[in-house]
Amino acid sequence: MATETEVCNIALGKIGGAGDQESGTGLIASINGSDRISARCKALFPRVRRRVIGDLAKERAPFNETLKYADLGAENADPPKIGGWTFAFNLPADLIFAMRQIDEEFVTSPLSITQRPTEYRFSEIVDGTTKILLTNDLTNEAGDSAFIQYSFDQTNVGVWSEDLIDAVATLLGAELVPTVGAVDERRQEILAEYTTVNIPKAKASNRSVGNNFAHQNTSYKGGRNESLPTV
């Protein structure tokens, strides 16, 4: 299992090392170390992690390890001005991006592998410090709340896929360039690697192992309603 320190060292390796650390290896011993580069790694890590998770979620190709479902519970007791929307619900504190609102029944008892979940129209707003989902539909099993799938801030590095590790390390490496004294040209090269290599690779990989219940089996009926003949 990966650790935050290991991800930071991968990031530093993309630049060429951490400079003259005490060990002389160009690596940091711990993200919790007292040296300047370790401290900078620790400060940048959460922001970079959230950025990478959000980038893939907004591409509709989220990392599987950053997905979960939530019943949003009771309707917001003090909704903001919500225009034409009927219901308002507080979103989870760890939410980065709301992927879709669906029926809770789809998650708990899908009828078949060819079933596509019904998705509902919703909107998000920020009301003060709280993210709120606006919807006209109640979709949990009790019919009194909204049920969503969302991408969350997965802080457990130990469950990260290799694609997520590499994407975070690449973007973190770009952000660490000024700290280790590398030239800005190197930062631009690493950012280009993130956008042209990491993101496309992760999108292709994540979509290939996405929600199988949303996949459709290929039909060879050519538009006919009757069953295909058997041999």
- pLDDT tens digits along 188-205: 999 999 999 999 999 999
**What is each CA distance from 78 to 16, 71, 132, 139, 213, in whole angstroms?**
52, 19, 11, 21, 36
- Residues 41 and 119 occupy one common structural domain: no
Least confidently predicted of 11-15, 78-82, 224-228: 224-228
Q: According to the model, what pLDDT value does residue 129 have?
A: 85
Per-residue 3-state assignment (H helix, E strand, C coil) for 53-96: HHHHHHCCCCCHHHEEEEECCCCCCCCCCCCCCCEEEECCCCEE
- Residues 73 and 141 occupy one common structural domain: yes
Question: Is residue 225, in this structure, part of any structural domain at all?
Answer: no
Least confidently predicted of 9-23, 59-73, 103-117: 103-117
- Residues 88 and 144 occupy one common structural domain: yes
Question: Is residue 160, in this structure, part of any structural domain at all?
Answer: yes
- Residues 178 and 146 occupy one common structural domain: no
- Residues 142 and 79 occupy one common structural domain: yes
Domain count, the chain: 2
Question: Is residue 204, in this structure, part of any structural domain at all?
Answer: yes
The pTM for the full model equals 0.83
Assign 19 a pLDDT band (cuts: 50, 70, 90): low
Question: Is residue 228, in this structure, part of any structural domain at all?
Answer: no
Sheet holding 87-90, edge to edge: 87-90, 130-135, 122-127
Q: What is the pLDDT of residues 118-175, one digit of tens each?
A: 899 999 998 888 899 999 999 999 999 999 999 999 999 999 999 999 999 999 999 9
Q: For the chain, what is the mean pLDDT?
A: 86
- Exposed, middle or buried, 223 (CB in 10 Å: 0-12/13-18/19+)? exposed
- Residues 12 and 119 occupy one common structural domain: no
Question: Is residue 230, in this structure, part of any structural domain at all?
Answer: no
Please report which residue ranges of 59-193 form alpha helices under DSSP H: 104-108, 162-180, 184-193
d(CA 163, CA 48): 14
Least confidently predicted of 96-100, 124-128, 208-212: 208-212
- Residues 56 and 159 occupy one common structural domain: yes
- Residues 128 and 198 occupy one common structural domain: no
pLDDT at residue 81 above 80?
no
The range of the structural domain enclosing residue 29 comes to: 4-60+155-210
- Residues 120 and 143 occupy one common structural domain: yes
Q: Which residues does 225 contact at the CB level (< 8 Å), separation at least 6?
A: none
Least confidently predicted of 12-21, 106-115, 219-228: 219-228
The backbone region for 76, taken as left when phi is positive above 0, alpha when psi lies in -120 to 50, beta otherwise, is beta
